[in-house]
Structure 1
Amino acid sequence: MYSRNLLSSPIAVAGAFLLLATLWGTSFVAIEAGLAYFPPLLFAGVRYAIAGAIVLAYATVVSDRWLPRDRHEWLGIVVAGTFVIAAYHGLLYVGELYVPGAVAAVVVSLAPVLTAAFAAVLLPNERLGPFEIAGFALGLVGVVVIADPTGAGVAADGDGLLSPELIGVGLTFLSAVAFSIGAVLLRPLRTDLPIAALQGWAMLLGAGLLFVGAGVFGESPGAIVWNATSIVSLAYLTVLSGVVAFLIYFALLDAVGPTQLHLVGYVEPMVAAIGSWVLLGHLIEGEAIVGFVAILAGFAALERREIAAYVTTRYGFGS
């Protein structure tokens, strides 16, 4: 369905990779801008209700089937909808009430590191050796540096209350945890259900759960402020960083595989930092940069074999 012919040259792959990183990196900025006008869970719910309907409609046109056949496939949709869509985005959107989108993007870049760690715990054929444990530890150190719990993360009056920055980093970290758990739980549940259909159903289910959460926490549609900024933010997140980005993701996944595609998560924070500065006037602080470097080093330690094999195969090094 997503043929390698769509991305048959290195230039096409690189262009698609950079476009995906741009769309997903700027989505953190669009979320930050839109949160001034939307309650967070309703914001995420509306985005994925629309995007899910579009992606599922697309699946009905291009896929050989779009309806799940059995409970196993429905379970995969439940896992993806609950963890990857609802929990991840719900926590991320609430977290961005407290920290800039660029900082959230850096924390979320920990997700591949967490995925490898959870896979070692939850899947029988996965394990963590010394390098993997070191990589995981480096990633956690990066998040701690960003959160700065001994500095900005403690209230200035010394009463021990958590600062908004620490709350935001904590919620964003939990969003990465939710995404990673969902990604690991999905591995044994994958079937021949086309991924576009899986994503479409998961988006719709996740949107429903987000709407339930919005009701539980008292979010009201009446609190939404409709203006040019809120409409552009929602449209961008739904159509470009939602539907278009996922279609690019599907094509890249087929062309280069999951390990190389994880690298897009390490370009996103750079895009988010530039976008946050250009559009919102926010500059990323030094702690976030140091934390990002630590997280990137952790990913390199965890995926060192896959990266080395890819470089050797692709460029002939070491042959």
Structure 2
Amino acid sequence: MAVVGYILLCLIWGSTWLAIKLGLDAGMPPLLGASLRFAIAAALLLPAARIMAPASFRDRTAWRLALLVGLLSFGFGYGATYVAAMWIPSSLGSLTFGFFPFWVAVLAHFLLGERLTLAKLLAIVLGFSGLALLSYGSLRELGPDTALGVAIVTCSVLVQGYPQVMIKRDGKDVPTVFLSGAGMLVGSLVLLVVAGIAGEWSRPFPWNSTVVLSIAYLALMGSIVTFMIYYGLLKRLSATLMALVALITPPIAVVLGSIYRSEQLGTLTLTGGAIVLTGVGLFQLEERRVARLRRRA
């Protein structure tokens, strides 16, 4: 079931890049759009958490982790992603976010005891190389705001790594439905405030069909389904293996984008995607080898 969940997670998150881009191109304000996405998801998850895990609402650890992930991941992290998407192509954004597994691997090594072996590091480097190859074609046409967009995504990577490691360390007994719902509520409020500061409140919201469908899909599939799977798997799999999702989703996003635009996939795209999957597979093999050695020790 873990394998099925991991694959489903990658497929859905790979499709969210296109959903976000379509919404933004249709006039969706980035911060308000992200806030509304998480508000809808929280409105559905929290009543379920009240029924399924009522004790979580009185648990300090649960609230601490929810605040952490709400502020840093759903709030700052996703806000930065939406804003950066206006200035840089999704390929460059995904390439920059490809540093996420490196950062999580370092944090997990020191905070979780997930040993970062040379083989693991090389597997991550291989996966990142595939991502760079995948993005090569679109990186030749960059605008003047590229540096700012890359800087924003880089900050997002650095900020989002810490909550993931803390959830892995302290969130084993925190119900996934509460962590997702409460975290998204906090993130939605943060994004709503920042949207007001950025002047998005004063603009009319474009309630066209593309924006509505984009937000609905991102709330239901891209938030509720994915994070329920993600946090559930994070309790069972290593933090770094879960972070490798950041390398797998861009090839999926490229394929879906090509299908949407009725374009053929080039050799670089196919080769890059294959290299990414090879790197992730080698990482998993190394994790299993290390686990066997620990059991024998």
Scaled by the length of structure 2, the TM-score of the pair is: 0.77
Give the aligned partner of residue 105 of structure 1: 94
Map residues 29-40 of structure 1 onto 2, 5 A cutoff. Answer: 29-36=18-25, 37-40=27-30
- Cross-structure match for 2:149: 168
| 8 Å Cα contact 1:73/1:191 also seen in 2 | no
Quote how far apart the aligned CAs of 1:265 are: 3.7
Given the alignment of the two structures, is residue 61 of structure 1 paired with residue 51 of structure 2, yes or no? yes
Give runs of aligned pairs for residues 66-81 of structure 1, distance below 5 A.
66-70=56-60, 72-81=61-70
Alpha-carbon distance change, 174 to 139 in structure 1, aligned in 2, over 3 angstroms:
farther
Alpha-carbon shift at residue 207 of structure 1 (Å): 0.8
Is residue 97 of structure 2 the alignment partner of residue 91 of structure 1? no
How much does 1:215 deviate?
A: 1.6
**In 2: Cα distance, 1:175 partner to 1:131 partner:** 27
Letter in 2 for 1:192: D
Q: Which residue of 2 aligns with 1:182?
A: 163
Aligned to 2:173, the other structure's residue is in SS state coil
Tell me what 1:119 maps to: 108
**2-structure distance, mates of 1:192, 1:94:** 34
Aligned residue in 1 for 2:190: 209
Residues matched between the structures, number: 290
- TM superposition shift of 1:257: 6.2
Pairing partner for 2:15 from 13, 26, 29? 26
Instruction: Name the SS for the 1:168 alignment partner.
Output: helix
- Structure 1 counterpart of 2:19, one-letter code: A
The unaligned stretches of length 5 or more in structure 2 are none
Are residue 234 (structure 1) and residue 215 (structure 2) matched? yes
Counterpart Cα distance in 1 of 2:275 and 2:58? 41
Q: Which runs of 5+ in 1 are unaligned?
A: 1-6, 8-12, 156-162, 314-319
CA displacement at 1:247 relative to structure 2: 3.0
CA contact (8 A) 2:108 2:240 kept: no
1:44 aligned residue: 34
Aligned-pair identity in percent equals 26
Q: Using structure 1 for the length normalisation, give the TM-score.
A: 0.73
Are the equivalent residues in 1 in contact too, given 2:93–2:150 (CA < 8 A)?
A: yes
Which residue of 2 is the match for residue 224 of structure 1?
205
Task: Please say if 1:305 is aligned against 2:286.
Answer: yes
Question: Post-superposition shift, 1:276?
Answer: 1.5
Mean CA deviation greater in 172-181 or 230-239 = 172-181
SS for the counterpart of 1:171 is: helix
- Conservation of the 8 A alpha-carbon contact between 2:130 and 2:276: yes
How far has the Cα of 1:278 moved from its partner? 2.3
1:69 & 1:83 partners in 2: Cα distance? 20
Deviations, residues 172-216 of structure 1 (Å, cap 9, x unaligned): 333222221221244444262312211211110011111111122
- Alpha-carbon displacement from aligned partner over 1:49-93 (angstroms, at most 9, x marks no partner): 1111212222223235330423x4332222111112111101111
Q: Give the secondary structure class of the aligned counterpart of 1:99.
A: coil
Judging changes above 3 Å, is the alpha-carbon distance between structure 1 residues 106 and 83 closer, same or farther for their aligned structure 2 residues? same
Structure number having the greater helix percentage: 2
Q: Is 1:28–1:102's contact at 8 Å kept on the other side of the alignment? A: no
